[in-house]
Amino acid sequence: MTKTTGAPVNNHKTRLFVYSLGFLFQPRLRKILKAHGLEIGMGLPFARKDSVAVWGRRPVSKRGMFIARRFKRRLVTLEDAFLRSVLTGRQGEYPIGLVTDATGIYFDTTRPSEMDKLLKQASDLPRDEWRHAKDQMAHMVRLKLSKYNDFSSNEPDLPDDFILVVDQTVDDASIAMGSANAASFVDMLACAKAENPDKKILIKTHPETIAGKRYKYFSHFDCDDQVSVITGKHAPMDLFRQASNVYCVTSQMGLEAIFYGHRPVVFGNPFYAGLGLTDDRGTARDKGIFLSPAKLFWATCLTYAKWYDPFFDRATDFMTAASILHARARQHQDNETLAVCVGMRLWKRGFLRKFLSGVNNTPLFYDDVTAAVDAASKKQGRVLIWAGRETKELASDCAQRAVPLVRVEDGFLRSVGLGAQLVAPTSLAFDDTGIYYDPTAPSQLERIVNQSMELSKIDLARARSIRERIIALKMTKYNLTSASFELPASAGQKIVLVPGQVEDDASILKGAGQVKTNLGLLQAARNNFPDAYIVFKPHPDVEAGLRVGAVDITDALKFADIVAADSNMAVLLEQVDHVATMTSLAGFEALLRGKSVTCYGSPFYSGWGLTKDKMRKISRRKARPNLDALVHACLIDYPRYWDPVTGAPCPLEVILKRYERGQMQAKTGVFVRLMAKLQGIFASYAHIWR
Q: Report residue 690's pLDDT band, with 50, 70 and 90 as the boundaries.
A: very low
Backbone angles phi, psi at 622, to 5 degrees: -90, -30
3-class SS at 53?
Answer: strand
Give the per-residue pLDDT at 687.
45
Separation of alpha carbons 3 and 663, rounded Å: 26
Question: CA distances (Å), 463 to each of 133, 365, 529, 590, 663, in order?
Answer: 19, 36, 32, 16, 23
β-pair type (427-431, 382-386): unpaired
Contact 449, 537 (CB under 8 A): no
3-state secondary structure 471-527: HHHCCCCCCCCCECCCCCCCCCCCEEEEECCCCCCHHHHHHECCCCCHHHHHHHHHH
Angle subtended at Cα 547 by Cα 543 and Cα 550, rounded to the nearest 5 degrees: 55
pLDDT of 5? 47
Decide if 164 contacts 245 (C-beta within 8 A): yes
Mean pLDDT of 564-592: 95
In whole angstroms, give the CA distance from residue 470 to residue 17: 44
Query: 97: closest CA among 118, 77, 116, 82?
Result: 82
C-alpha distances in Å from residue 304, one per residue of 119, 231, 301: 10, 33, 6
- Give the pLDDT of residue 152: 87
Report pLDDT for 541: 82
What distance in Å separates the CA atoms of residue 213 and residue 46, rounded to the nearest whole number? 39
Q: Higher-confidence residue: 11 or 69?
A: 69
- 78: β partners: 55, 100
> pLDDT (tens digit, 9 = 90+) per residue, 44-55?
999 999 999 999
Say what the pTM is. 0.92
Asked if residue 486 has pLDDT above 90, the reply is no
Q: Treating both helix axes as pointing N-terminal to C-terminal, what angle do 318-334 and 457-473 enclose, rounded to 10 degrees?
A: 90
Q: What are phi and psi of 244, to 5 degrees?
A: -85, -20
Task: Provide the pairing of β-strand 227-229 with 200-204.
Answer: parallel
Instruction: Using the predicted structure, report yes or no on whether residue 188 has a pLDDT greater than 60.
Output: yes
* 680 pLDDT higher than 70: no
The stretch 319-342 carries a mean pLDDT of: 96
Average pLDDT in the chain? 92
Confidence of residue 677 (pLDDT cuts 50, 70, 90): low
Alpha-carbon gap, residue 262 to 248, rounded angstroms: 12
Of 130, 531, 472, nearest to 293 by C-alpha is 130
**pLDDT digit string, tens, across residues 428-465:** 999 999 999 999 999 999 999 999 999 999 999 999 99
pLDDT at 74 over 60: yes
What is the Cα–Cα distance from 581 to 590, expressed in whole angstroms? 11
Averaged pLDDT, 333-340:
95
Could you tell me if 581 and 571 are in contact, meaning their C-beta atoms sit under 8 angstroms apart? no
For residue 684, the model assigns a pLDDT of 52
CATH code linked to domain 452-637: 3.40.50
User: How would DSSP label each residue in 191-232?
Assistant: HHHHH-TTSEEEEEPPHHHHTTSS-BS--GGG--SSEEE--S
pLDDT of residue 131: 97
List the chain domain ranges: 14-120, 126-299, 452-637
Helical (H) or strand (E) element with 63? helix 61-71
Q: Is 289 helix (H, G, I), strand (E, B) or coil?
A: coil
Strand partners, 169: 216
Distances, alpha carbon 285 to alpha carbons 105, 292, 431, in Å: 18, 17, 51
pLDDT at 3: 44
Residue 566 has pLDDT above 90, yes or no: no
**Strands 38-41 and 227-229, how do they pair?**
unpaired
- Alpha-carbon distances of 216 from 22, 85, 133, 211, 219, rounded to whole Å: 25, 21, 34, 12, 7
Cβ atoms of residues 173 and 57 within 8 Å: yes
Mean pLDDT value of segment 612-639:
97
DSSP 3-state assignment of 677? Answer: helix
Greater confidence (666 vs 521) lies with: 521
Please tell me the distance from the alpha carbon of residue 556 to that of residue 520, in angstroms, as a whole number. Answer: 10
Write down the CATH number for the domain with range 126-299: 3.40.50
Cβ atoms 14, 306 nearer than 8 A: no
Cβ atoms of 315 and 307 within 8 Å: the answer is yes
Residue pLDDT, tens place only, 240-276: 999 999 999 999 999 999 999 999 999 999 999 999 9
Mean pLDDT of 31-41: 96
Greatest Cα pair distance, the chain, in angstroms, is: 89
What is the arithmetic mean of pLDDT over 363-383?
Answer: 97
- The confidence band for 6, taking pLDDT boundaries of 50, 70 and 90, is very low
Contacts of 249 (CB under 8 A, 6+ apart): 166, 168, 175, 178, 180, 184, 185, 188, 266, 267, 268, 270, 282
Give me the pLDDT at residue 231, please.
Answer: 80
The Cα–Cα gap between 404 and 373 comes to 10
Amino acid at residue number 281: R
Q: Mean pLDDT across the stretch 383-404?
A: 96
Residues in the chain: 690
Residue whose C-alpha is closest to residue 424's, from 482, 539, 347: 347
Please provide residue 510's backbone torsions phi and psi, each rounded to the nearest 5 degrees. Answer: -95, -35
Classify burial at 669, counting beta carbons within 10 Å of its beta carbon; exposed 0-12, middle 13-18, buried 19 or more.
Answer: exposed
pLDDT in tens, 198-237: 999 999 999 999 999 999 999 999 999 999 999 889 999 9
d(CA 413, CA 431): 17
- pLDDT grade for 546, boundaries at 50, 70 and 90: confident
pLDDT in tens, 462-477: 999 999 999 999 999 9
Of 269, 247, 268, 267, nearest to 257 (Cα)? 247
DSSP 601: B
Query: Given this chain, do its domains 126-299 and 452-637 carry the same CATH topology?
Result: yes
